[in-house]
Structure 1
Amino acid sequence: MRSQLATLGKPVQTWSGGRTKWNRTAMGLPKTHTLDALCVGQLDHEAGAGTVRVPQQVHAVTATGRGNYARTTPDRYGFPRLARARQKRHHGFATGDLVRASIPKGKWAGTWTGRISVRASGKHSLSTPVGRCTVSHRNLRLLQRADGYAYSYRQEVTE
């Protein structure tokens, strides 16, 4: 891989993970993946080289999957137990979509945001930080289509 990159005409150098740790501890930074990425390579600490700015928050991406292609649900022995729906999208929504639900009455009355599991009947299951509830497709508003990832921001730990 290194020789292939060298054919581009740019200088290519390699270092060990120990170099990254040495750079990080020399700059007094805590151990996180984000800060390790800023400490890679050869830095001349005596000349004042180092990380100038540390991010306060980072964009975190989590893989959530895109469902599966199984046409049946098997029992504990592996035999088909029931047939699944032929389509993944019902009433304009797909499993994994991020939605905002405005539930007018009942135990779950209020506004909730979360991911849904769709049902052919239109009574979708909404997963919230508090728990799961059933909500009609009429009370849902799409925020983000399911693309297999969940996006969020988190604070970067700095000392």
Structure 2
Amino acid sequence: MCRVNKFGFPRTTAKSTEKKVKGFQTGDIVKAVVTSGKKVGTYIGRVAVRKNGSFNIKTVDKTVQGISWKYCRLLHASDGYSYNTTC
């Protein structure tokens, strides 16, 4: 799917059809232990993947943006259902 102009011609390129990035996909529950940088800490939550390998992690109380895939460990693969994380 891509965006079109008022005449119906494509304005942008099509979205990528890759479902997984670095072994993760949007909706997976991950644990990220960040050891260096501005966002040091441990985060458990739902991941939103980007093609470049930098993820957003939505925890119970906040969303942490720009966490590298190298810090993430998969706890539960996305299976279509919604799960609450109370950690």
TM-score (norm: length of structure 2): 0.75
Cα distance in 2, alignment partners of residues 130 and 152 from structure 1: 14
Higher normalized helix content (fraction of residues): 1
Counterpart of 1:83 (choices 1, 6, 14) is 14
Deviations 1:46-104 (A, max 9, x none): xxxxxxxxxxxxxxxxxxxxxxxxx33x3696865332112110110011111000111
| Gapped regions of structure 1 (runs ≥ 5) | 1-70, 155-159
Partner of 1:145: 77
2:38 to 107, 131, 136: 107
Residues 56, 64 of structure 2: 8 Å contact kept: yes
Structure 2: 5+ residue stretches without partners: none
Aligned match for 2:27, one of 89, 93, 96: 96
Q: How many residues align?
A: 83
Q: Is 1:136–2:68 an aligned residue pair?
A: yes
Give distance in 2, aligned partners of 1:82 and 1:114: 31
Sequence identity (%): 34
SS in structure 2 opposite 1:138? helix
RMSD: 2.6
Q: Which has the larger radius of gyration?
A: 1
Choose from 111, 116, 123 the match for 2:47.
Answer: 116
**Aligned partners of 2:75 and 2:26: how far apart in 1?**
13
CA distance in 1, matches of 2:84, 2:50: 27
Distance change >3 Å, CA 80–CA 144, structure 1 → 2: farther
Q: Aligned letter for 2:52?
A: S
